[in-house]
Amino acid sequence: MNRQTQKRLLGIAALVVAAAIWQIVAEYVVRRSFILPSVTDVAGAFVNLLESGTLVADIAVSLQHFGVGLLAALLLGVPVGILMGWFRVADFLLDPIIEILRPIPPLAWIPFAIIWFGLTTQAAGFVIFVGAFFPILTATYAAFRSVPKVFVEAGKVLGCDTSLEVIRYVALPAAVPAIASGIRIAMGVGWMCLVAAEMFGVSRSGLGYQLWHNYYLHQMPNVVVYMLILGFAGLIIDRIFRNYVDQRLLRWHAGEVA
């Protein structure tokens, strides 16, 4: 048995044991579904939500919100981070503004998101954008500030005559690992912001909204279903991104060539 198979089997065994303990505690210790739904209660709620189509629709809405916000954060965060990290004048001009806005919690923008966009996909996407933008910007900035000078000099010797060419062929490839790490962090922050934004009324649908709505209805098995879906969805998104980055963008780290 290789190490990867052993790791998977141990992970599955740990989940089975955790589910068994959960079932025993809920069934024989707590004995109140409102306080702690059992595994069977949650499984029944999951089947009902799946058959009704509600769960699939909510997942689609939340992924749409998440995609809009994360895409906007990438399109703005990476270029601004490159400007600030590579050009000293841009750093001097933008740093005071960034440092004033960065400590503001993303959820503090919810009132303006509702006023500016209403209860729309754009409103939820804006809150996610605020949460994801700064980790991407910070990682990109730090990565470009840390590019070794010897790389830059080597690029100039090999024919990179302009700053744009040095950025394209030298600095950006060197900065990709740090930028990818920043994007992963931003995805986690954005996913948490998504749930909070939907719970606080930025949207009338989605996983976060349904979680809070079912709590008001005292449908705690449904609440646990949505909690687990949020966890698994976040895990799957992170794994897909990490595999893509490792196989497409960072193959040279392992000495692979196209």
Amino acid at 160: C
pLDDT, residue 258, reads: 45
Interval 230-240 mean pLDDT: 86
pLDDT, residue 248, reads: 67
| Homologous superfamily in CATH for domain 38-254 | MetI-like (1.10.3720.10)
Summarised one tens digit per residue, pLDDT across range 56-110 is: 888 888 888 888 899 999 999 999 998 888 888 888 888 888 889 888 888 888 8
- pLDDT above 70 (res 255): no
Interval 203-218 mean pLDDT: 83
Summarised one tens digit per residue, pLDDT across range 134-155 is: 999 999 998 888 877 777 777 7
Q: What is the pTM of this model?
A: 0.82
Percentage of the chain surpassing pLDDT 90?
A: 10
Locate 74 and state its tokens. Answer: 């990438």
Regarding predicted confidence, which is higher, 72 or 173? 72
Interval 107-136 mean pLDDT: 87
Interval 216-244 mean pLDDT: 86
- pLDDT above 80 (res 7): no
pLDDT, residue 42, reads: 85
Among 41-55, 104-118, 125-139, the range with the most confident prediction by mean pLDDT is 125-139
- pLDDT above 80 (res 232): yes
Mean pLDDT rounded to a whole number for the chain = 83
Please give the Cα distance from 72 to 137 (Å, whole number).
Answer: 12
Please give the Cα distance from 244 to 2 (Å, whole number).
Answer: 24
- pLDDT above 80 (res 162): no
